[in-house]
Amino acid sequence: MSEPYVSIQLQHDHTLPLYRQLYFQLKQAIKSGILPPGQKLYSIRRLASELGINTVTVVQAYRCLERDGLAVAQVGRGTFVSNLTGLNEKESPFSPNSVNNISRAAPDSWQVPVSPQAINFATLTPAAELFPVDDFQSIINQILARDRGQAFGYQESQGYYPLRCSVAQYLAKRGIVCDAESIQVISGAQQGIDLIARSLLSAGDRVLTESPTYTGALASFRARGAQVIAIPLQEDGVDIDALQQQIKIHQPKLMYVMTNFQNPTGICYSVAKQQALVEICHHAGVVLIEDDSFTELAYDGFERQAIKEWDKDNQIIYIKSFSKILMPGLRLAFMLAPQPLQPKLMAAKHIADISTSGLLQRAFDLYLRQGLWISHLDYMKQCYLARYKQIVQAMRTSLPPQAGFSSPGGGLCIWIEGHAGLSANRLYESCLKNGVIIAPGSHFFPDNRDSNFFRLSFAALSEDAISQGIPIIARQLRMLGTADHEPRRCFSPLL
């Protein structure tokens, strides 16, 4: 189909972000029929280049259109004007009010094609060469010899009972007392967050999150039609005054937090803030969700505590994933929920996938019982520590002095504040052109705003790759430091 003419006028000095301007103008063109149903929109790269903006801005505008049900992204083909635009938005399965609207929430819509040679500071996924493949092969062989066909039957929805017992023992060593009956095995932490959203939220409910936060959680809450209320993070945890104020205004149902080595900032809450958070939420009747992917990854010798340890009244839903230390492809995690919430969560798990793979649950149970998990955790901490030291040192040596960051002492990422006026979205673009991938802050702020913040992760990179990549980022930062002060141009492209 040929491309109709649409004039886009973007004003760089306008208070409305560029992506909102682009979104509104495209929306207008769709509503007025200039862009008819089925029309293919310009490719992200082409439109970005025509308009002289970065691709992230176009992705954000297209994503807003998808959320409204006005456009549909097709893998490998591009983005098309939806055929449903004539429908009343409320009736459309793509309506922003519809809990069935998955496109608005797709966390993967932000994925970029990555060349295998690229130095990827954007992913938190551990490098495959660190996976304990030989140990797992041996464990799976033992399970097959022991359980034969049983290993391939349907598993109890709540999870393989012996695994739940091993997990309860493991948690007890970390100061979290529970029994196997309160544990729900889940297919990754993301599934846990999603099950909570499905079973506890309705359209219009409010959920508090840290700002910035993990984007997959935002996606799950929004997929239920919930409104996300962002609470700013300070160096030692969320801003408690803002938290109290927002609770009063919005009476939220849930609050989602990561109190140790938070993704993306690496922040650890002070003990005082952990306790205040638990108390405030308890008194306000807000269910706390603790996503604990990183607590064990402390490299500075100080062990951190999960807030679940303070949870005397059993108010917190605790989620723990094994993706970042073991292997993300196992899709194994577990959830510990207050008793009154368990039946709903268990029902949601059954509806979602009946059960997490029985074979892998049995294998992981044996892995824990044979002490392999503990030795693997030690090994991963050693590897991550070497990478952490390397990235901190390379950043101290190479980054311009205007770029600030603090060393979190653990976790898998470092949050950097570039010089004032930096657009991290533009930095992302220019790094990408130079074979380096970073994660701009817009990905993690609930309102997707561009800013001078970005996240670097060292999980997937060797020390060599880290020392090659950081100077490239530093160079791009310096270049944008001057380019950002150039007067910006307006474009009027044809679409």
Question: Which pair of structure tokens corresponds to residue 30?
Answer: 């769709």
Task: Report which of 185, 182, 490 is spatially closest to residue 316, judged by C-alpha positions.
Answer: 182
143 vs 189, beta carbon nearer ligand PLP:
189
Interface residue with ligand PLP among 321, 355, 356, 357 (CB under 6 A) is: 321
- Nearest distance, CB of residue 220 and ligand PLP, angstroms: 10
- Nearest distance, CB of residue 217 and ligand PLP, angstroms: 7
> Does 70 engage in binding with ligand PLP (CB under 6 A)?
no
- Nearest distance, CB of residue 219 and ligand PLP, angstroms: 11
Interface residue with ligand PLP among 333, 380, 392, 399 (CB under 6 A) is: 333
Interface residue with ligand PLP among 167, 238, 257, 258 (CB under 6 A) is: 258
The DSSP line for 7-76 is -----TTSSS-HHHHHHHHHHHHHHTTSS-TTPBPPPHHHHHHHHT--HHHHHHHHHHHHHTTSEEEETT
3-state SS string for 77-108: CEEEECCCCCCCCCCCCCCCCCCCCCHHHCHH
Query: Which position has the token pair 């992200």?
Result: 44
For the chain, how long is the longest CA-to-CA vector? 70
22 vs 255, beta carbon nearer ligand PLP:
255
Euclidean distance between CA atoms 130 and 54, whole angstroms:
34
- Nearest distance, CB of residue 205 and ligand PLP, angstroms: 21
Reduced to 3 states (helix: H, G, I; strand: E, B; else coil), residue 336 is strand
Euclidean distance between CA atoms 288 and 232, whole angstroms:
17
229 vs 439, beta carbon nearer ligand PLP:
439
166 vs 262, beta carbon nearer ligand PLP:
262
Euclidean distance between CA atoms 328 and 28, whole angstroms:
42
- Nearest distance, CB of residue 124 and ligand PLP, angstroms: 5
Reduced to 3 states (helix: H, G, I; strand: E, B; else coil), residue 239 is coil
Residues 6+ apart with CB under 8 A from 325: 126, 296, 297, 376, 377, 380
- Nearest distance, CB of residue 264 and ligand PLP, angstroms: 8
Question: Which pair of structure tokens corresponds to residue 370?
Answer: 């044979």
Euclidean distance between CA atoms 491 and 495, whole angstroms:
12
C-beta nearest to ligand PLP: residue: 188
8 A C-beta contact, residue 445 and residue 211: yes
- Nearest distance, CB of residue 161 and ligand PLP, angstroms: 22
> Does 259 engage in binding with ligand PLP (CB under 6 A)?
no
> Does 323 engage in binding with ligand PLP (CB under 6 A)?
yes
Q: Which residue stretch of 99-107, 282-290, 321-329, 451-459 sits at the interface with ligand PLP (rule: CB under 6 A)?
A: 321-329
> Does 328 engage in binding with ligand PLP (CB under 6 A)?
yes
Contacts (CB under 6 A) with ligand PLP, residues 279-298:
291, 293
Interface residue with ligand PLP among 62, 214, 384, 444 (CB under 6 A) is: 214
> Does 356 engage in binding with ligand PLP (CB under 6 A)?
no
328 vs 469, beta carbon nearer ligand PLP:
328
Euclidean distance between CA atoms 436 and 460, whole angstroms:
13
Q: What is the DSSP letter of 229?
A: E
Size, binding site for ligand PLP by CB under 6 A:
14
290 vs 429, beta carbon nearer ligand PLP:
290
27 vs 222, beta carbon nearer ligand PLP:
222
84 vs 352, beta carbon nearer ligand PLP:
352
363 vs 480, beta carbon nearer ligand PLP:
363
Question: Which pair of structure tokens corresponds to residue 192?
Answer: 């846990």
- Nearest distance, CB of residue 386 and ligand PLP, angstroms: 21
8 A C-beta contact, residue 296 and residue 373: no
10 vs 459, beta carbon nearer ligand PLP:
459
- Nearest distance, CB of residue 177 and ligand PLP, angstroms: 23
> Does 216 engage in binding with ligand PLP (CB under 6 A)?
yes
Contacts (CB under 6 A) with ligand PLP, residues 99-138:
124
> Does 96 engage in binding with ligand PLP (CB under 6 A)?
no
8 A C-beta contact, residue 4 and residue 34: yes
324 vs 426, beta carbon nearer ligand PLP:
324
Euclidean distance between CA atoms 427 and 441, whole angstroms:
11
Write b or e for each residue in 248-263: b if 16 or more Cβ atoms lie within 10 A of its Cβ, otherwise e: eeeebbbbbbbbbbbb
123 vs 234, beta carbon nearer ligand PLP:
123
Contacts (CB under 6 A) with ligand PLP, residues 428-467:
none
Contacts (CB under 6 A) with ligand PLP, residues 154-193:
188-190
- Nearest distance, CB of residue 360 and ligand PLP, angstroms: 13
- Nearest distance, CB of residue 24 and ligand PLP, angstroms: 32
Question: What number of other Cβ atoms are within 10 A of residue 116's Cβ?
Answer: 5
The DSSP line for 120-161 is E-S--SPPGGGS-HHHHHHHHHHHHHHHGGGGGSPPPTT--H
Q: Where does this chain bind ligand PLP (CB under 6 A)? A: 124, 188-190, 214, 216, 258, 263, 291, 293, 321, 323, 328, 333
